[in-house]
Chains A and B, each alone.
Chain A
Amino acid sequence: MTSPVMINRLATGVPGLDTVLAGGLPEFSFNLIAGPPGSGKTTLAHQMMFALASPERPALYFTVLGEPALKMLRYQQQFAFFDAAAINGSIRFINLSDEAIGGDLDLVLRRIVEEVKAAGPAFVFVDSFRSVIMAGTAEGAQINQLQSFVQQLGVQMTSWQATTFLIGEYFSETEDNPVFTVADGIFWLRQSLQRNSMVRKLEIVKMRGQATLPGLHTFRITDAGVTVFAPAERAVSAEQRDIAPSRLPMGVEGLDAMLGGGLPSGFSLLIAGPSGSGKSILASSFLAEGARRGEHGVIATFEQNPTRMRNPLLSNLLGSPKVTTVDARSRDLSIDEILLLLITEIRRTGAARVVIDSLSGLELAVAPTFRDDFRESLARLVFALSAEGVTLLVTSELEDRYTDLRFSPYGTAFMTDAIIVHRYIEVDSRLRRMMAVVKLRGSAHSDEMREFTIVDGQIIIGTMLESQAGLLSGRPTRQTTAASAAPPDPRGLHDA
């Protein structure tokens, strides 16, 4: 027999956590849930316990000298996962404060082992473990006694086939603590504070026997409990998506021709332009055209008062079943949370078209702690949505600068497959709008700069301003002689 032992992976019942754990929690593992007070350790432990415990596989929750059990039960039952019917059935609470208060670690260990032998639980939780340690040191317990205690507990619990969690307040990962060595898994919960914003983050510092997703993963605690925003799993391979890149009509007459026949499906398109130039109207037209063709659309907006900010076309669309919106107005969002909201809605509705309106709003919506690496996060968002196979339209506020030519803030131009830019120009003492396709990856597109107007909430693309020169300067001048350059492509297209 050469086959290795199969390690059973347990579903934790915490959305996103099994993904971060690369498939779930290893059975019979000895885990530490660590973090500062208020970081969500006890909630995470309870949520896992209620998901994991069953009459056949019960759980014991030992409370030591941490949070009083009465208070813990009082607050934990506010969460949707709390099931009072499980208490004294598949879940039993055991108070060890009387044993721990004397500081005799052997007595605590003996009591835990006795209870485990008597009940035969599949899951054991010890909360708070730091208080066990402090109780020990208060009585002068030596570090080797403590190490011996932790090792014995680990050995006993594993031998009794109990998947175990020690919950504790540890402030430093570098703390010289024998628990860290003995533990198979370490869940580290953090609270990242910046100004008056707080973001919760979880890291699997260690998990023996499996390659967990590295790094900090944001999570949120709501009435439902903990939700971890794991990086999105790829849904559709790039190869699959590239098989048949059909073209999607944009819903604005003339624009499809400028794009060489519409926007290739699965592409990401950035609409960049100054405030009020019609980016949101173009985005709404894109969704409306999809709805007209029976395709579902999803839009993420980040205004605090979305109803007031919406254009009439979008308001009508959101009243129809074909376009839905994600609620991205929570405080201190992370890109991963927004991505999860979008992907959940895309998968729920089978959406083909997705709009993010706008990047500027998105930047303000994410917690300050994420702004430093906003560009990287944005790239991840675009690539993940692209992997979902949807066609993405992103709007971006672009300050009109007539001394240099820019197409996007944040250096985002490279992230998207296509870019359309809007610009204001002054002609005959009027502020007029123009639009151009500046990028369409792997495809021919128009090089024309076309004037456009907004009439009754619709974009009407006009002609090129052939009589004007220097449009990009914002103050064009009337041309008096015909250009002597090479004749243009009669189709108005050029290769990308």
Chain B
Amino acid sequence: MPSPAGDRVAAALSSRAGPDANASSVAVSVVDLCRELERSLTPIVGQRGFAALYGRSLYLTSRDFPWIGHPPDGVPTAADLGALRSVLAAQSAAIGMRGGTALLEAFHSLLVSMLGAALTERLLADVLLPHSSGHAAQDLNR
């Protein structure tokens, strides 16, 4: 059953990837969202702190989507989002979307388990919003 956080992630990804999403645009959208999470959280938890959270999310997601890969051995100093982009782009758009959604949802749930829903919402307020990438509204009457 999809969770509310999963619905929001899927909505945010769909609006960013656009109606004619292909594997490449899905990969770009997922990685863009990850970068926004990184930008929001790194000032608070540090680059290594973000890498640790990302690594854990990747590990949890890989149980259902083995193709997404495991976190690298050792202690990561930064999240390798380039690798994520490559594996996503190698899937079909639909599978990439499901895997990307699962990864972002796992990340969100991990943060909620640590900080609670209220503070997580506060920290990620600007990230998981549907992206307004459509055309600017036009006046019909001139």
Contact = CB atoms under 8 A, between A and B. Distances in A.
A68 B49 contact: yes
A98 B45 contact: no
Interface stretch (B19-27, B29-37, B99-107, B116-124): B116-124
Interface residues of A, number: 19
Contacts of B114: 70, 73-74
A94 B49 contact: no
Given A93-B43, A95-B43, A69 B49 contact: yes
A235 B51 CA distance: 57
Interface string A164-176: 0000000000000
B45 A68 contact: yes
Contacts of B48: 97-98, 101
A73 B119 contact: yes
Interface in B105-133: 114-116, 118-119, 122-123, 125
Contacts of A95: 42-46, 49
B47 interface: yes
B116 A92 contact: no
Contacts of A69: 44-46, 49
Interface residues of B, number: 17
Contact of A84 (B42, B44, B45, B118): B118
Contacts of B45: 68-70, 95
Most central of B45, B46, B115 by chain A CB within 10 Å:
B46
A200 to B, nearest CB: 27
Nearest to A115: B43
A74 B114 CA distance: 6
A451 to B, nearest CB: 67
Contacts, number: 54
A68 B48 CA distance: 11
Contacts of B125: 88
Interface string A84-116: 110110001111111001000000000000000
A69 B48 CA distance: 12
A22 B43 CA distance: 36
Contacts of A92: 43
Contact of B123 (A63, A68, A87, A94): A87
A97 B119 contact: no
A77 B118 CA distance: 10
B49 A70 contact: yes
A85 B123 CA distance: 10
A433 to B, nearest CB: 61
Given A84-B122, A93-B44, 18 more contacts: A63-B44, A68-B49, A69-B44, A69-B45, A69-B46, A70-B45, A70-B49, A70-B114, A77-B115, A84-B116, A84-B119, A88-B123, A93-B43, A95-B43, A95-B49, A96-B46, A98-B46, A98-B48
9 contacts: A63-B44, A70-B45, A70-B114, A73-B114, A73-B119, A77-B115, A84-B118, A96-B46, A97-B48
**9 shortest A-B CB distances, which residue pairs?**
A95-B46, A97-B46, A93-B44, A84-B119, A84-B118, A84-B122, A69-B45, A98-B47, A69-B44
